[in-house]
């Protein structure tokens, strides 16, 4: 009996996960993913945040522990306390600081005044005389052109009547002359035979 051969199937290699971080408002968004592309997809970003320096790989064991436990899940961590975040914004202008110190009941809201209407200087009407003259000339031209077209149509109708009369007369004359020519030809041919 032949010895059994052992076949070893290569097991697919588990991809090594990295933890990536990007800023999201006052928080950092962490995700464990096999590649930068997968991290961008998890964050829902269409732009390469790594190219612009807005995202990075994180190696701090305290920060990556939670993300490595649930790959592909985005975790948000605050970048500091509320006081630290407000301090990062910088000092408020004096007027705003004074209002912040007041009690909410003491803050007065001035009544909204009706918006002022700006006085519009009265303008004189523009001169219409040039327009009136142009309209008068246009109306006269349209009337003149209509009369010329009507006159041309009458002349065309008269010419058409004359052409039909000419065609009719010429047709009668040609027909009459053909009949006369045929009679004379027949008479001549009879005389030649005799």
Q: At 138, list the tokens.
A: 């246009």
Residue 9 has pLDDT above 70, yes or no: no
Res 110: pLDDT:
47
Q: Residue with structure tokens 């032949």?
A: 2
Give the ranges where 49-128 is alpha helix by DSSP (H): 61-69, 82-89, 94-101
Q: What 3-state class would DSSP assign to 22?
A: strand
Tell whether the model's pLDDT for residue 13 goes beyond 80. Answer: no
Query: What would the pLDDT profile of 85-133 be if each residue is shown by its tens digit?
Result: 666 666 665 555 555 555 555 444 445 555 566 666 777 888 899 999 9
As a whole number of angstroms, the distance between CA 160 and CA 96 comes to 95
CA–CA gap between residue 117 and residue 99 (Å, rounded): 31
- Per-domain residue ranges for the chain? 18-85
Contacts of 107 (CB under 8 A, 6+ apart): 99
**Would you place residue 11 in the very low, low, confident or very high pLDDT band (cuts 50, 70, 90)?**
very low
Mean pLDDT of 46-66: 87
Q: How is residue 189 written in tokens?
A: 């041919």
Residue 61 near residue 7 (C-beta atoms within 8 A): no
- Residue 169 has a pLDDT of 95
Beta strands 75-78 and 27-33 are antiparallel
Q: Are 30 and 14 in contact (CB under 8 A)?
A: no
- pLDDT, position 125: 85
Task: Quick: pLDDT tens for 160-181.
Answer: 999 999 999 999 999 999 999 9
Please identify which residue in the block is written with the tokens 């010429």.
Answer: 170
CA-wise closest residue to 57 among 6, 17, 97: 17
**pLDDT tens profile 136-150:** 999 999 999 999 999
Q: How confident is the model at residue 28 (pLDDT cuts 50, 70, 90)?
A: confident
């Amino acid at each position: 009996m032949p010895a059994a051969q052992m076949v070893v199937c290569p097991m697919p290699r588990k991809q090594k996960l990295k933890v990536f971080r990007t800023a999201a408002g006052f928080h950092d968004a962490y995700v464990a993913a096999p590649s930068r592309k997968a991290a961008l997809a998890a964050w829902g970003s269409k732009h390469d945040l790594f190219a612009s320096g807005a995202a990075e790989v994180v190696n701090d064991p305290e920060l990556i522990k939670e993300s490595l436990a649930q790959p592909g899940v985005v975790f948000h961590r605050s970048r500091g306390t509320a006081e630290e975040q407000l301090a990062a914004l910088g000092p408020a202008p004096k007027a705003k600081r004074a209002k912040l110190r007041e009690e909410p009941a003491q803050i007065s809201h001035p009544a909204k005044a009706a918006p002022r209407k700006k006085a519009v200087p009265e303008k004189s009407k523009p001169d219409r005389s040039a327009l009136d003259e142009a309209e008068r000339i246009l109306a006269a031209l349209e009337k003149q052109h209509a009369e010329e077209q009507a006159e041309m149509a009458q002349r065309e109708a008269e010419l058409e009547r004359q052409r039909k009369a000419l065609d009719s007369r010429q047709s009668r004359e040609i027909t009459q002359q053909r009949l006369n020519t045929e009679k004379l030809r027949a008479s001549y041919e009879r005389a030649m035979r005799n």
